[in-house]
Amino acid sequence: MMNRFRKWLYKPKDNVLNIINQIMDACIPQDRAPRDFCVKFPEEIRHDNLAGQLWFGAECLAAGSIIMNRELESMAMRPLAKELTRSLEDVRGALRDQALRDLNTYTEKMRDALRHFDVLFAEFELSYVSAMVPVKSPEYYVQQEVIVLFCETVE
């Protein structure tokens, strides 16, 4: 039941972020923030509604909430969360203005807003997920290699 509620809660946010991502792919394809760090996320974290959960998390942090018993991380991420939510509102406003004008032309103001949002969202994604779950580090890969070598030795 709770899983269905979460999907319902995050779905509209996911839709908005998916549309913004499509616009960024069309408008600033070479200027997108790198997201190579996502491969370090555990498999159970990488799912379709992660972006919506991140947006919700940013809104909660910006409003003063604390991530589940992680007060220090929450305080450290709060300025980034506030800047991200402001940037998202700027992007939405720029897209609204653009929709009332020429849909085939992207203004420099809109491109700048999209670039800024993309960088902030990538930074927040890494910070938030790293605070919530252990991400795979170089030590993680060394541990995996040791496990494989141990298993091969046992065989």
Residue 137 inside a domain? The answer is no
| CB proximity list for 129: less than 8 A, separation 6 or greater | 41, 45, 54, 135
Query: What residue numbers bound the domain in which 73 lies?
Result: 1-132
In a domain, 1, yes or no: yes
Distance between CA 78 and CA 60 in Å, rounded?
9
Write the pLDDT tens digit of every residue in 74-90: 898 899 999 999 999 99
The percentage of the chain sitting over the pLDDT mark of 70, rounded to a whole number, equals 78
Split into its structural domains, the chain has a count of 1
Residue 98 lies in a domain: yes
**Segment 39-47 mean pLDDT:** 66
Q: Tell me: the pLDDT tens digits for 101-148?
A: 877 788 888 899 999 999 999 999 888 887 776 655 656 566 667 777
| CA 120 – CA 127 distance, rounded (Å) | 10
Please state, in angstroms and as integers, the Cα–Cα distance from residue 32 to each residue in 104, 117, 120, 153, 155, following that order: 20, 10, 11, 44, 46
Q: Is residue 113 part of a domain?
A: yes
In a domain, 127, yes or no: yes
Tell me: the pLDDT tens digits for 25-38?
988 989 888 877 76
pLDDT for 42? 65
Question: Which is more confident, 115 or 5?
Answer: 115
DSSP summary character for residue 35: -
140 within a domain of the structure (yes/no): no
Residue 59 corresponds to which tokens in the numbers above?
Answer: 């809104």
pLDDT at 121: 93
Is 44 within a domain?
A: yes
Q: Measuring CA to CA, which residue among 140, 110, 84 is closest to residue 23?
A: 110
Q: Are 117 and 91 in contact (CB under 8 A)?
A: yes
Q: Is residue 114 part of a domain?
A: yes
